[in-house]
Structure 1
Amino acid sequence: MNRYFFICISLGLTLLFGCNNDDENLKPAGVGPDWFVIQNKPGRFNELAYQIYSETGMPMFVNDTLGVENRGTDSFGNPIIHYEMFVIDYSIFNQVYRAAAVLSADTTAMVKAAELIRDEVLPRYYREYKPASILLVDTLYAIDRGWSSVQGVKAYKTQEYAHKNMIGTVVGHLSDILKMTEDEQNMWVGRILAEEITDEIQVRYADEVKEFCNVSLRTGTWTWHGESRYADLEGKPAGSLGYDVDYRELGFLEWIWDGVYSEDRLVRRYPTEYIDVAGYIAAVYAYSEERFESLYQDFPKCVEKFKMMKAILAKFDAEMNK
């Protein structure tokens, strides 16, 4: 009995006196800086980004290089420099690149975008559907809008508004933001908000979304979604119905391709189902029903789809705020 007592006492003393002040500073191997903490740095955008981060916890960047760290030297004595990057299309699930961006060099546009996001976007995010960070860029391209990781930007491309990935959401159109009308700014805000919830809306309300998409029915059970239509260089449809139709007549808000396809052809493409749903989610955020009806009074399918999406979002909002 005494032997076990003395063993316990010895172990206790070893643990007690084996600790020192240096041990308090120990940290797990491989743990580096928290790159998503915004530091207080000089400059108009930097100061605003720090204020937004301090008040809301949302990191906002305009540079895809988040930081640099010296990690010692290699076996030859050369410095090991690590660059932490905001990868535009980061995913652990696939290696398909779906987006690319051009960074902004316009501080005034950066500040304008950050202020709009602070005032109009962050307060309206759902807690469950909020990005970890935001990267503001001059121009954002996406695979559905005429960009390819192999071929680059195509002549018929259109710009993307927002693109989410696992480390944050990339927000584009800073190239246009200083020239936007109030309606265009509202749609820009709506597109950013829509990017976070469109996937969930499509899954959660699959039947309602199918009914929504069927407003743009082409024939039978086929809709116009994702359909490409062609014309010659003078704009004469090349045996392809739908090129010279006003997309609003079919219930769409935009072309996602529009321009030169080849040396002898033009192309226009109707939105995919995802872009169509996201566009109307954005419109519901951007416009009152009265305002939307005044803008699209000659296009009943657009008005019908707006009302349908408004009802879907009201249902979603009620479920999120139970």
Structure 2
Amino acid sequence: MKKIRFYVALSVVLLGFTACTDEEDTSPSYADQNLFAPSESDQSEMAELRRNFYKETSAYLLFNDTLYKQQNGMDAYGNPIWNVELVDLAYSLIGEAISYRYTYKYIEGSENKKRAANLIKEKLAERLGKAVPYSFLIVDSITTWENNNGVWEIVVPYYYSDVEAHPIQLLGTRCYAISTNGDTGYQDEDYFTTVFKKIVLNKLERLSGDKLSAFYSYGEKYYQVGKTEFDIPYGVDDHLARTHGFWKDYNYYYFAMRHFDLEYFTDAVCTYSPSEVEEMMAGYPLVIERFNLLREIIKSMGIKVID
């Protein structure tokens, strides 16, 4: 059965959530109750699965986004009034996703939930190490909706947009929602490699600027400056870009933008070992320096990288 839950980024303001810092906000909303863990009285098979997942990964495990639901009286028509708290996944997307809503198709059946928990533990939690989120919400699929003149419709991605109709992850401040996309996550070898890279990039982007200042210092004078400003003709030339310390030349007019510079090196750190990069980038010492610099930053976050 398909479970649906709508929410918008603005709703977290109404719930009184505070702004995040560089690190994820891992504080539960209720001081006397951890809503991310099963209650002590719950001795069900799924409660035990969730407890074991936490013991093995230090991250809580969720299969739906309702953390708390309790009846809080009746309205004038005799209908129950519910006090509900949801995982605030949209919070981290404020500024770029305030006009979007997300729905989930939940995973049904204990065996499917066990299978999904083992998948996330192996493909993500073990690689993230100490950098695991406060909790994982594992679902079958995620759908993004946008408001079109008062009517909610499935989003249609547009050029240069990061918005996806069916994202495979939503990276919130207290929780990462991960979609298995049906059986795709089990069958596609590259599926969770992509998720892992996006998580690492997201964590780097949340760091304070001074922690990445040394990495960015190599490219500061080039970011968003036209190539002709350096007497370089327009075109794409990886060799020329790498002599200036960039992973590759991706734009006809510019060497790099800060975001893409970080993204390409993050992808490299998550994909290659230092020895592979030294061989690939022989003759480009600045690229090797920046690779090793970012690799050490990522390792310092507790994330496991390729040796």
**What's the TM-score, normalizing by structure 1?**
0.53
Residue ranges of structure 1 left out of the alignment (5+ in a row): 1-29, 223-240, 256-269
Q: List per-residue Cα deviations over 1:175-207 (Å, max 9, x = no partner).
A: 5422333x6644533432332232316442335
Cα 1:92–1:99, aligned 2, differ >3 Å: closer, same or farther? closer
Residue ranges of structure 2 left out of the alignment (5+ in a row): 1-29, 303-307
Q: Does residue 180 in structure 1 map to residue 188 in structure 2?
A: yes
> Structure 2 matches for 1:183-198, cutoff 5 A?
185-198=192-205
Q: Does residue 277 in structure 1 map to residue 285 in structure 2?
A: no
Deviation of the 1:95 alpha carbon:
9.2
Q: Does residue 37 in structure 1 map to residue 47 in structure 2?
A: no
Query: Corresponding residue for 1:69?
Result: 70
Native 8 Å contact 1:162 1:195 kept in 2: no
Native 8 Å contact 1:187 1:286 kept in 2: no
Counterpart Cα distance in 2 of 1:298 and 1:92: 36
Larger Rg: 1 or 2? Answer: 1
Q: Does residue 167 in structure 1 map to residue 149 in structure 2?
A: no
> Structure 2 matches for 1:238-317, cutoff 5 A?
273-274=258-259, 276-291=261-276, 297=280, 305=287, 307-314=289-296
Deviation of the 1:51 alpha carbon:
1.1
Query: Corresponding residue for 1:219?
Result: 227
Cα 1:66–1:315, aligned 2, differ >3 Å: closer, same or farther? closer
Query: Corresponding residue for 2:136?
Result: 134
| Amino acid in the other structure paired with 2:65 | D
Query: Corresponding residue for 1:117?
Result: 124
Cα 1:173–1:203, aligned 2, differ >3 Å: closer, same or farther? farther
Residue correspondences, number: 242
Q: Percent identity?
A: 17
Q: Does residue 205 in structure 1 map to residue 190 in structure 2?
A: no
Query: Corresponding residue for 1:18?
Result: none
Instruction: Return the structure number with greater helix share.
Output: 1
Q: CA RMSD in A?
A: 4.9
Deviation of the 1:291 alpha carbon:
4.1
Task: Specify the SS of the correspondent of 1:80.
Answer: strand
Q: List per-residue Cα deviations over 1:219-264 (Å, max 9, x = no partner).
A: 1579xxxxxxxxxxxxxxxxxx87xx69999667899xxxxxxxxx
Deviation of the 1:97 alpha carbon:
1.9
Cα 1:102–1:93, aligned 2, differ >3 Å: closer, same or farther? closer
Deviation of the 1:288 alpha carbon:
1.0
